[in-house]
Amino acid sequence: MTRNTTLMAMGALAAAAVLNMMATGTAMAQQVRNCGPRELVVNRLADRYGETRQSMGLGANNAVLEVFASDESGTWTVTVTSPEGMTCLIASGQAFEELVEALPAKGNDA
């Protein structure tokens, strides 16, 4: 490799590293903005979207996963709350439907 080619390659790697740090910083900043005290998050989901808790479960490290939805508008939000009470929005969308499906018969892969 010539000196110029090596310098260009090093410059490209440095630029890629900076872009990666910027993207990671942006993702981390967005994550921080999408989290808050549970009471505040639940109140906003109720006030802005009419969503109430539809289901919940216990996840890894005692985190609580909850699904909030509005029967009226069909909007839904999935949250995870840490044991310390910090709630983060994980996903949201529209066209929520409550389903209760029977388990398939034993021995049936479907």
Give residue-wise pLDDT tens across range 34-46. Answer: 999 999 999 999 9
Q: Show me where the domains of the chain are located.
A: 1-33, 35-110
Q: What is the mean pLDDT of residues 52-78?
A: 96
Which runs of consecutive H residues, i.e. helices, occur in the chain? 3-33, 38-49
Confidence of residue 78 (pLDDT cuts 50, 70, 90): very high
How far apart CA 82 and CA 71 sit, in angstroms, is 27
| End-to-end Cα separation, the chain, in angstroms | 58
DSSP 50: -
pTM here is: 0.65
At 104 the pLDDT is 83
What is each CA distance from 85 to 9, 39, 62, 79, in whole angstroms? 46, 9, 11, 12
